[in-house]
Structure formats: C-alpha cells, structure tokens
Amino acid sequence: MPINTRVIDNPKSERVRRVADLASRKTRERSGRFLIEGPQSVREAVRWRPDAVQDLYVEVTQALGNDRPVSLTVQRIEDESQDSTIYVHHVTSQVMARISKDSQGIVAVGNLAAMETDPDDLELRGDALIAAFWQVRDPGNAGTVIRAADAAGCAAVILVDDCVDRLNPKTIRSTAGSLFHIPVLTMSTDGFFAFAHDRNVPVWAADVYGTPDRTPEQLPAVLADPKARKGPKAVLFGNEARGLETGELERCNRIVSIPIYGKAESLNLGTSAAVMLMSLAMSSHAGTILAV
Amino acid sequence: MPINTRVIDNPKSERVRRVADLASRKTRERSGRFLIEGPQSVREAVRWRPDAVQDLYVEVTQALGNDRPVSLTVQRIEDESQDSTIYVHHVTSQVMARISKDSQGIVAVGNLAAMETDPDDLELRGDALIAAFWQVRDPGNAGTVIRAADAAGCAAVILVDDCVDRLNPKTIRSTAGSLFHIPVLTMSTDGFFAFAHDRNVPVWAADVYGTPDRTPEQLPAVLADPKARKGPKAVLFGNEARGLETGELERCNRIVSIPIYGKAESLNLGTSAAVMLMSLAMSSHAGTILAV
C-alpha cells in the first residue's frame, strides 16, 4: 500500500539496525518479527501470505533524478505488494548491505504470529500426506525438505522436537518460497504422536535400520500395495546424522526404507525426503493407473 | 603397501606444493593426477578403485614418541590400503593444512588415466539405466547427481557437453564415494546421442517444458506403463538454471516431466535426478509386484 517516498540512507539508523538484527533467533522471538530475503522468497510471501508481511525494503538507485528499484524483478514485487497493506520503504545500497548479505535488492519483514498455525485448524482431506522431521538441525536441510514436501502436495510440514528455527533466514531462503505455500508447524515428540493418534493418522517412519524387532518394509513393496496408498499418513524422517532412535521408531505404525540399488551407502536427508514423499504422492494421485 | 616412515613436516616443500596444486584443473590435466579429500571419499577409493590411487597422505600426531594417525577412521583406511600398491606418507598437521582445507586427516592422490572409461567397455545389461547430465556447471550439483545415480543402481553417468570437471575436489567430495562405484564418462552432445543410438538405448529427456510441438509425458503415467519399465534407457537432465534446449529435446525419444502437486515452482537438479532415477529403478526392480 503506502510507499514511503523518503529514501532511507543511514545504515546506522535505529530502524536499519532493528531489521538487520532479525538474523538472530532471540531478536525474532523478542520482537515477533522475522526476515525474508531475496526476490524469490519475498515474491512468494507477498503473493501467498500478504497477511504475514509487514514491511518491504526495496533497494533503489538514482536514475535521471528518480529513485528506481534496482531491477525489474524487484520492481514487479513492489507493484504486486500494492494490493495489500504492506509498507514499502526505499533504501540505498549501503543500507541494504547492512540489512542482509543475500537480499538481491529486496527483503521483507514478516509477522511471526501470522505464521503460527493451530494444529486444530489443519484440514486433512482423504489422502492427506504430512511430512514430519525429527531433530533436523541444518537450516539448509530444513528448507530443502519443506520445498520437497510442498512439491509433493503435502498438507503440512511438522518440525518435531529440537529442530532448527523454521524462520531462520537461511531456512526460508532454502524453501524457495515453499514456507509460504504450506503450513509449517512445530511440536514436541509427544505432541506429534498425540496429534497423529487423535486424528487417526498413521505414522510411517522413514528409516533404513529399523529396530531389533522390526525390519523396515521396502518402499517399492509399499507403493505396490493399493491399501497402503489409501488414506492419510504422516511420514517421520530422522535427524540428518543419526536418523531416528529406537524409542521413536517403536511408536510408528510402519517403518519404510528406500532401497539402495548401487554401492552408495545412503541418501542424504533432503534426497530421501524428496524420493519418499514424491513417490508416495505419485502413487496416491496416479493410483488407478498404476495397475499393470 | 609401503609406508614412508619419515614424517613430511615442511609445508613449503616441492612435493607438498605439487599435491596442493591439484585443486586446479590445469594442474590436474598437466600432471595426470587428481586429489581425493576426506575419509569417506578416500576410503571408497581405496576400497573400490585401489588401482586408481597412487599415494595416501595421512596426518599424524606424536603420542608417546610414536607417530599415530589423527583418528581411528583414518588409521583404518591406512590399514586397508596395505593390501594394494598405494604409497603411504605421514604428514604433520601444518603440511595437511597446506594440502587441503577439507582433509579431516587424510587425502589421496589419484591417477587420472585410471579413471577414464572407454564407452565401448561399458556393459549394459537388459534394463540398464544411464544417467546423463547436459552442461551441469556446479561442482556440488554434479557430485549430488552422481551419488543419486549410484543409489539408483545406474550402469554409468555421462557428463555431456561443457560440464564441471568430474575430478574437481568439491565434486568428488559431494559424490560421497560414488565416483569410485560407477563409471563417470564425459562426451560431447553429438557423441552422447551417437553412443545411445549405436547401442539402441532410447534417450529420455527429463524436462518440465518440452518443445512447442511436444508436451512432456507425466512420470507417473510412464511408471505405470509396463512397456516403459523394460529395456535399457538413458535419462538426460539439463543445466541447473536453463534446463535442456529445444535442439537437445528434439533429439530425445521421450520427454518426461516430474509432476508438482503443490505450489512449489520446481525441484532443483539434484532432487529431480534423485526422484526420476530412483522411481525408474524402483519400478524396474519391483515391476512384477507393482500390479494391483
């Protein structure tokens, strides 16, 4: 909506410092704000979750006496934001450099409260797929798996137990906008299993090893079973280094493993999540044509 | 085989400089050598391709008057190398720091000629899957896709046209050892299509857009077709930013697209390759049980 016509040009101003400080989790929690960096993430936020965007900071250059956004891409996002109640601020390149190293000319400040989803508000249609990640610690991994869950048409992502902050700027960047496409919730381990149990959503562990008592089922056999393709499910992936522990595995309804056909030891978390979620989604959507 | 008992302790020596210089492609090509960094890659090289490994450089510390490898992991790789004709050199931490920033205590020097595979020597069994990548430019991406191809049991990886050097140290690290599990060849675009044609291997393009005349087929429909699952095939993936161009697409027998079920715009190259190759492999291996 309103564009502040005065260009912010002092990198040391209080406002600029406050925005830059959103790189820290503590500041995000204290202020109730978070930082969205770069054209792709900002565009998807403005397009899909304008309610969660408060301010846009757009880098401008002086051209023929006018202040112009630094690129057409950035200009288009500014234009698109005009339909909503987002405040637009123009800043110099020095100010933008102080705010973010990864802005490519545009950042947004989001409202943390708007990104909270009440689990009771989640709509789980017939074959809803939920992607859950236990103790994912790397910001880039978290972003990658949220993007894979979005591509697979998941109803939600749940970050379980002690995970990286989903509003870490690097995580947001790695989601390539997917954070603004699907609900991303955080829950404790007990909270997650209670949530799934209360809604009759079976939990499948994605795990290579299983427990001493339970050998994992192989994914192709599961995909070939028409019964397995039906109904909602939550797939739980483990920590990137340690996987899932026996305690968590024992609480899952099924344990499913992605086969390795070559000599590779394993797939990394991002690849495992993409292969598992996309093949479940393809089987579910294309169920009727998978018959030979 | 032989361990040089004198610890190399001069970071400025000619030998140390020559090893460190293998980070540059020019030096690799001129010297016919390449650098393998870190325990995982070195272990897989020693285990699967000892013929391609010339020297092992192992970081040691002084303990009770003896020189000991810095970790048990590194010690085990040194032990394993004893069965082959690999020369082992002990080095100080200063020397190792000069050789590589990513050694974690061990690097190897490989022989470039040993890593060349004559296309005529490739064994293509009945349902052989070949993963081909056109103009992949990022070293990390190249490594990730080689690893995915290995996991999917591909017979070979072919880097087509102007790609990143498969022996770039960062690429090797990203393959997590897979470079030493399957043949990785390089070919021109014409060379690749001639190779596939001569061996009656159909080429499938992995592409979202297709050409003005040809809309891509959707992967689930292709997977559901028992005929499509049979026989050898080469899947060609495009550049990470630009995909495949019309000229290349027109030379392919089929164009296959991975469906996106959510709002994500696309999958990145590494994820696309993993999803496409793993689902083709799972369909091919589990073909008989995919019937409903």
The answer to whether the CB of A246 falls within 8 A of the CB of A214 is no
Whether the per-residue pLDDT at A286 is higher than 80: the answer is: no
Average pLDDT, integer, range B189-212: 96
Average pLDDT, integer, range A34-38: 97
pLDDT of residue A17: 96
Domains of chain B: 3-115 (3.30.1330.30), 119-289 (3.40.1280.10)
Residues 6+ apart with CB under 8 A from A17: A98
Do B264 and A147 count as a contact with CB atoms less than 8 A apart? yes
Contact list, B266 vs chain A (CB under 8 Å): 151
Can you tell me the distance from the alpha carbon of A114 to that of B125, in angstroms, rounded to the nearest whole number?
55
pLDDT of residue A3: 76
Confidence category of residue A49, pLDDT binned at 50, 70, 90: very high
Over residues A240-279, the pLDDT tens digits come to: 999 999 999 999 999 999 999 999 988 999 999 999 999 9
Over residues B229-243, the pLDDT tens digits come to: 889 999 999 999 999
Given B274, B279, B281, which is nearest A271 (Cβ)? Answer: B274
The answer to whether the CB of A99 falls within 8 A of the CB of A107 is yes
Give strand pairing partners of A88.
Answer: A3, A56
Average pLDDT, integer, range B31-36: 97
| Lowest-confidence region among A189-198, B13-22, B217-226 | B217-226
By the 10 Å C-beta count (0-12 exposed, 13-18 middle, 19+ buried), A30 is classed as exposed
Whether the per-residue pLDDT at A141 is higher than 80: the answer is: yes
Average pLDDT, integer, range A187-196: 98
Residue of A nearest to B265 (CA): A151
Pick among A230, A258, A275 to test the B interface (most B CBs inside 10 A): A275
Contact list, B258 vs chain A (CB under 8 Å): 278
pLDDT of residue B170: 94
pLDDT of residue B287: 54
Do B289 and A151 count as a contact with CB atoms less than 8 A apart? no
pLDDT of residue A292: 34
Can you tell me the distance from the alpha carbon of B160 to that of B233, in angstroms, rounded to the nearest whole number?
16
Contact A114/B at CB under 8 A: no
Contact list, B148 vs chain A (CB under 8 Å): 267, 271
Over residues A152-170, the pLDDT tens digits come to: 999 999 999 999 999 999 9
Over residues A67-109, the pLDDT tens digits come to: 899 999 999 999 999 988 899 999 999 999 999 999 999 999 9
| Lowest-confidence region among A117-121, A176-180, A228-232, B194-198 | A228-232
Do B264 and A176 count as a contact with CB atoms less than 8 A apart? yes
Can you tell me the distance from the alpha carbon of B22 to that of B30, in angstroms, rounded to the nearest whole number?
10
Over residues A270-281, the pLDDT tens digits come to: 999 999 999 999
Over residues B110-141, the pLDDT tens digits come to: 999 999 999 999 988 888 999 999 999 999 99
Do A290 and B290 count as a contact with CB atoms less than 8 A apart? yes
Contact list, A258 vs chain B (CB under 8 Å): 278
Average pLDDT, integer, range B206-229: 92
Q: What is the mean pLDDT of chain B?
A: 93
Over residues B251-273, the pLDDT tens digits come to: 999 999 999 999 998 899 999 99
pLDDT of residue A287: 54
Confidence category of residue A291, pLDDT binned at 50, 70, 90: very low
By the 10 Å C-beta count (0-12 exposed, 13-18 middle, 19+ buried), B28 is classed as buried
Contact A150/B at CB under 8 A: yes
Contact list, A131 vs chain B (CB under 8 Å): none
Q: In angstroms, what CA-CA distances link B86 with B47, B59, B60?
A: 12, 16, 18
Closest chain A C-alpha to B128 CA, distance in angstroms = 12
Can you tell me the distance from the alpha carbon of A178 to that of A77, in angstroms, rounded to the nearest whole number?
17
Spell out the alpha helix ranges (H) of chain B: 14-20, 25-31, 39-48, 72-81, 93-99, 139-151, 169-174, 189-198, 219-223, 226-229, 246-250, 269-285
The answer to whether the CB of B166 falls within 8 A of the CB of B193 is no
Do B279 and A278 count as a contact with CB atoms less than 8 A apart? yes
Over residues B158-176, the pLDDT tens digits come to: 999 999 999 999 999 999 9
Percent of residues in chain B assigned helix, strand, coil, to nearest 5: 40, 25, 35
Over residues B39-94, the pLDDT tens digits come to: 999 999 999 999 999 999 999 998 777 889 999 999 999 999 998 889 999 999 99
Residue by residue, DSSP assigns B148-160 as HHHHTT-SEEEEE
Over residues A50-64, the pLDDT tens digits come to: 999 999 999 999 877
Residue of A nearest to B278 (CA): A275
Contact list, B256 vs chain A (CB under 8 Å): none
What ipTM was reported for this prediction?
A: 0.90
Do A278 and B282 count as a contact with CB atoms less than 8 A apart? no
Confidence category of residue B289, pLDDT binned at 50, 70, 90: very low
